Amino acid sequence: MSKILIYPTNSLVLADLVDRFGHEPLSIPQEIRKKVTSVGLDSPPLNITPEDPKIGLKYAAVEVPSGVRGRMSLIGPLLERADAAVVVSDPEATFGCMGCARTNELVNFLIRAKKIPMLELPYPTNEDDARDFVYKIAEFLQSSEVLKHE
């Protein structure tokens, strides 16, 4: 079972497909769960502390807004664990944790800089696209470049 980073990192479709084809999806709720369920009163209610932007410093310079660094403190650890990535190019909806364009650009850059196997494709809008979407993801997840990390 390889660890597959998905982008958008809160995508339902990608998380489901990766899980369905026998791999572990690396999605942002895993990191959020660690934050919100850990016992601590550092910074209620969400336990986001001043330490988080510092963790983000590993990925972005100090001049970069703290929001980007804060988000990178969640997404960065996922990126480090990733064996491969499935990326939806230019998703029209990036809400919630995905709502920062600069973070999204940085994550896309870091995925490419890590030089891990990556599949990039657009969201399907019709039946033919959906068939192509599922087929490409399935073939990628069963390809030797992904399976060699198992």
Partner 1 sequence: MEDTDDVSKKDVITKLIILSSRHMMPGDLLYKIYALRKDVIVKETCFGAEVSGKKEDVNSLIRDIRILDPYGIFIKERGFPIGDLRRCRAASGGGARPGFHQIEVEAATLPLMSRALSEYDMGVKPTTHEKPTKLDVDVFKKIIADCLHSL
Q: Is residue 126 a contact residue for partner 1 (CB under 8 A)?
A: yes
Give the residue, chosen from 81, 105, 138, 142, that forms a contact with partner 1 under the rule CB under 8 A: 138
C-alpha pair distances (Å), 101 with each of 1, 97, 98: 31, 11, 8
Residue among 116 and 141 whose Cβ is closer to partner 1: 141
Q: Is residue 20 a contact residue for partner 1 (CB under 8 A)?
A: yes
Q: Is residue 12 a contact residue for partner 1 (CB under 8 A)?
A: yes
Q: How many residues bind partner 1 (CB under 8 A)?
A: 47
Q: Is residue 132 a contact residue for partner 1 (CB under 8 A)?
A: yes
Stretch 28-67 residues interacting with partner 1 (CB under 8 A): 28-39, 45-46
Give the residue, chosen from 93, 101, 113, 142, that forms a contact with partner 1 under the rule CB under 8 A: 93
DSSP secondary structure, 86-148, as one string: EEESS-S---GGG--HHHHHHHHHHHHHHT--EEEEPPP-SHHHHHHHHHHHHHHHTSHHHHT
DSSP secondary structure, 9-33, as one string: TT-HHHHHHHHHTT-EEE-HHHHHH
Helix (H), strand (E) at residue 37:
helix 28-37
Name the residues that contact partner 1, by CB under 8 A.
Answer: 8, 10-13, 15-17, 19-20, 25, 27-39, 45-46, 92-93, 95-98, 123-136, 138
